[in-house]
Structure 1
Amino acid sequence: MLVHIFINGEKRKVHCQPDAMLLEVLRDAGCKSVKCGCDTTNCGLCTVWLDGKPVLSCSVPAARVNERHVTTLEGIQDEAEAFGKYLVGEGAEQCGFCSPGLIMNVVAMKKELDHPTDDEIRHYLEGNLCRCTGYMGQMRAIRQYVDEEVEA
């Protein structure tokens, strides 16, 4: 089947199987930041933005994104780098496998929520699993990123 998708602002024609998930299509299109970590929609590693909202690409049929806009980490490099510096500063990047999905959600949260509380941050990010950090370093980095961006 042929699907027309805007990937990081570029319109692409994608040939895929009728049962293909967006995750597969994006990886085939070269978006290697989009990862599969669980196959059960529980880890958050495959998070992308669909029309500006975070979604788990492993649970979105590619056929449903026809003529829609998908943004991956490759499409928000400046924002990702800005937040990534906070992760590194807190030693929260560890292996980095979960970082793309986390970054996609943190940047989306910053755009959506004004002055989020720690509870709001935890709720927004509850689907992002990390097996390395214990989350405290990530939480400190998120808090610093959100607070500094709000003040700027």
Structure 2
Amino acid sequence: MVKTIRFTLNDKPVSLDIDEDRTLLWVLRTELGLTGAKYGCGEGACGACTVLVDGEALPSCQLTVGFAAERRVTTIEGIGAEGKLHPIQRAFVRHDALQCGFCTPGMILKAHSLLAVNPNPTRDDIVEALDNHLCRCGAHVRIVAAVQTATDMLKGGKP
């Protein structure tokens, strides 16, 4: 059913007249032109489509746009600023934790969500948080190292 759906997307208000049952992933990609969230498995198991909804990392392929109503949605395009990468993004670059880049937006947003609730994660905490985010290139070791470095960077440490 077509409804007016309003939500905050990357700190900007959005209003769409749209079928509330449309998948959030496809609304982001097709109606709103934000292609950072990727279609991976379509079942919420790979992490490629991860977005933040009210700060929680969720698979956008499993959410309807109606679910986003009156919520705050953040995509990879919404962290950092024009010309200035977020510390987590900088850490990924530093550790070369992004070979093909397909999984990277989801990994970064999951790390962002983790560090918001646990600013001092252990290596095991990071591994557990990223456990169901698939990296087909095998960069997991570098990804974990990047999140560890981002932890220090967010506390004001040097990269």
- TM-score normalised by the chain length of structure 2: 0.86
Check the 8 A contact 1:90/1:140 in 2, yes or no: yes
Give the partner amino acid of 1:110. L
Q: Which has the higher helix share?
A: 1
Q: Does 1:20 align with 2:25?
A: no
1:80-133: CA deviations, max 9, x gaps?
A: 542222222222210111111111111121111031111111111112110003
- In the alignment, does 2:36 pair up with 1:45? no
Q: Tell me what 1:61 maps to.
A: 64
Unaligned runs of 5+ in 2: none
Distance 1:102 1:24 in 2: 19
- What residue is the counterpart of 1:85 in the other structure? 90
AA matched with 1:123: E
Partner residue of 1:35 out of 34, 38, 48: 38
Partner of 1:6: 8
Contact 2:87 2:153 in 1 (8 A): no
Give the 3 Å change call, closer, same or farther, for CA 94–48 of structure 1 in structure 2: same
Match of 1:123 among 128, 137, 140: 128
Alignment partners' CA distance in 2, 1:136 and 1:71: 26
Shifted more, 79-88 versus 18-27: the winner is 79-88
Are 1:73 and 2:73 counterparts?
A: no
Q: What per-residue deviation string (whole Å, max 9, x for no partner) do you get for residues 3-38 of structure 1? A: 112111211111322431111111121211111111
The residue type paired with residue 24 of structure 1 is W
Indicate the percent of aligned positions where both proteins have the same amino acid: 32
Q: Report how many residues are paired.
A: 152
Aligned counterparts of 1:146 and 1:112: Cα–Cα separation in 2: 12
